Amino acid sequence: MKSVVLIVLFSMVLTSFLVAQEDSAKTLTRHVYVWGGSSYPYLPGVTKDIWKTGWNAGVGYGYSFSPGSIGYGEVFGTVEFSRFAFNETGYRNWLLPQYSSLNSSEIQTGGITARGAISNLTVFANFKGTFSASKHSIAPYFLIGIGYMHYSQDSIAIQDTLYAVHADSKSSFAWTVGIGIEAPITDEITFFVQGKSVLGVFQEERQYFPLSGGFRIQF
């Protein structure tokens, strides 16, 4: 339900931007986007215990409209990859209350035979609305996107115990919302910093928060 409310609210803002730019949409500018940063796991809950804060990197391509009375919009496609490394200490601590029948010393000292990481590949179609009457000033923005997520998890196991996290790989519909701020460096290059929520709509929802910085290059 919360997801639906967020999408409706951002759709209303998106409509306002498009209406405000109806007369200025004749001029489109092409852009390439590159970025990278940290990713913070959130859902499912066990993710925060077993995997560390990860990293992300992405590229995009799209178009921006001419500024209108409220600001200007951009439409662009993105491909982003995130990876979360295995947290051995967190995994051992998480195991103890889950399987109290296991020998705690085996859990704490047993050799790890598989060190599974998580990776996410997302492909999104995005709309970005920037609150500025000019493309040459520091300005805040919001973005919303819908698309696809491929989730992959390697196996995890401790030698001579009964428990393991099995390897898994799935794909599903996903969506993202975020906010950021941009600052022009030259007429063609703009630096931006942004934070997003990325949610994969699997049977057990998967969510993480990428925080990244990058460049939008006009050509």
Q: CATH number, domain at 69? A: 2.40.160.20
Number of separate domains in the chain: 1
- Quote the CA–CA distance of 94 and 113 in Å, as a whole number: 17
Q: Is this model's pTM higher than 0.85 or not?
A: no
pLDDT by residue for the chain (219 residues), tens only, comes to: 445 444 544 554 454 454 444 454 458 899 999 999 999 999 988 888 889 999 999 999 999 999 888 899 999 999 999 999 998 888 888 877 766 655 666 667 677 777 889 999 999 999 999 999 888 899 999 999 999 999 999 988 877 666 677 889 999 999 999 999 999 999 999 999 999 999 999 988 999 999 999 999 998
Tokens at residue 193, please?
Answer: 């910093």
Range of the domain at 112: 2-218
